[in-house]
Structure 1
Amino acid sequence: MGDASTNQSANDAVWGRVERQLTYYRTEAKKAKVSYRSVKLVQIVVGVVIPVLAAAGATGWITAAVAAIPIAAEGVQQLFQWQSNWLRFRSAAEALKTEIFLYQAEVEPYENANRLSVLAERTTKITREESAEWATFHQAETTSSSQPRQFAS
C-alpha cells in the first residue's frame, strides 16, 4: 500500500515540476515576445513620422527629439534582450513539450519502468542548460561592459 502512495506522490511531484517549468517558459516567452515586438513597432512608426515632421517644417529640436525615440527604444531592447530571451524561452518550452509528448506516447526513452525518473532527468537537463546559457550570456555581458575600452592610437 505504501509503495502505491509513494509512487503517486513521486508522479505528482515530477508532473507538477514539469508543468510549472512549461508554464514559466511559455509565460516568459510571451512577455519577451510582446516587449520585443512593441519596441520594434514603436521604432517603425516613429521612423515613419520623422520625415513627415521634417517635410511639414517642424522645428529642428522637435524632429531631433522624435528621432531620438527609436534610438532609445533600441537601447532598451539591447539592455533587456527581449528578442534573445523570447527565442531561448520558446526553445525551452518546445523542448519540454517534446519530452511530455514522448513520455505520454511511451516511446524511447520512455518505454520502460523507470520512465518517470527519465522524464525528471531530461526535463531538469533542459532547464539547467537554459539557466546556464542565460548565466553565461549575462556574465559575458557584465564582463564586457565593465572592462575599460581600449582605443587604437
Structure 2
Amino acid sequence: MSEVPDMMGDELPKPTNPDDVTDLVWLAFQSQFAFFSKGSRRNRVAYQSSKVATIVIAAAVTICAALDVRPWVTASLGGLVVVIQGLQQLFQWQLNWVTDRQSSETMRQHGLAYAAMMDPYDGPDRRDRLSKLMRDIALRENRSWAGRMLDRGSR
C-alpha cells in the first residue's frame, strides 16, 4: 500500500514522470509552495495567539479594575494590549496569513495537476506553464507587498 501525501502539509506529491522529480522548475515550484505554506501557518499562529492574548489581557484589565488592584498593574496590562495591537498592525499577521494561504492553495492545485500530468499540464509545454504560474504568483505577491508597504508609509 503506497503512502498518500498529506494534502494540507508543506509537500506536494512526486510527479508521475520520473524526470520531473529532479527538474529545476519542479524543485523551485516545491520550494516556493513550501515557503507560502509555512508562512501562512506562521502568520496564522501569530495572529491567533495575539488575538487570544489581547482578549485574556483585556479581561484581566477589567478584573484588576474591579478588584482595585494597584493602578500600575492595571495600566501595565492596558499598555500591553496596545503593544500587541501595534505589533499586529505592524506585521499584518492576519493579512499575510490569508494571502500566503491563497498562494499556497493555488500552487497546491496546480502542483497536483502537474504531478498527475492533468490539464493544463498534460502537454509538451507543461514546464513552461508551471514556470509561468510560479512567476505570476511571485510577481503578484511582490506587487501586493510593495503596495501595502507604500500605503503604510503614506499614513
User: TM tier, shorter chain?
Assistant: 0.7 to 0.9
Matching residue's letter, 1:75: G
Q: How far did residue 10 of structure 1 move?
A: 10
Going by fraction, where is helix more abundant, 1 or 2? Answer: 1
Alignment correspondent of 1:19: 30
Q: How many matched pairs?
A: 137
Over the residues paired in the alignment, what is the CA RMSD in angstroms?
A: 1.8
Q: TM-score, normalised by structure 1?
A: 0.82
Larger Rg computed on CA atoms: 1
Q: How far did residue 60 of structure 1 move?
A: 2.3
Equivalent residue for 2:121, pick from 88, 110, 113: 110
Alignment correspondent of 2:78: 67
Tell me, which stretches of 5 or more residues in structure 1 are unaligned? 1-7, 146-153
Equivalent residue for 1:94, pick from 81, 92, 105: 105
For 2:20 and 2:106, the matched residues in 1 are separated by 25
Matching residue's letter, 1:61: W
Task: Tell me the alpha carbon deviations over residues 92-148 of structure 1, each in whole angstroms, 9 at most, x when there is no partner.
Answer: 100100111222333332221111111111122112111211111112212x13xxx
Conserved in 2, the CA contact under 8 Å of 1:99 and 1:123? no
Matching residue's letter, 2:113: L
Q: TM-score, normalised by structure 2?
A: 0.81
Percent identity at matched positions? 28
1:9–1:42 Cα change, 3 Å: closer
Q: How far did residue 27 of structure 1 move?
A: 1.3
For 1:90 and 1:33, the matched residues in 2 are separated by 9
Larger relative contact order (CA 8 Å, sep ≥ 6): 2
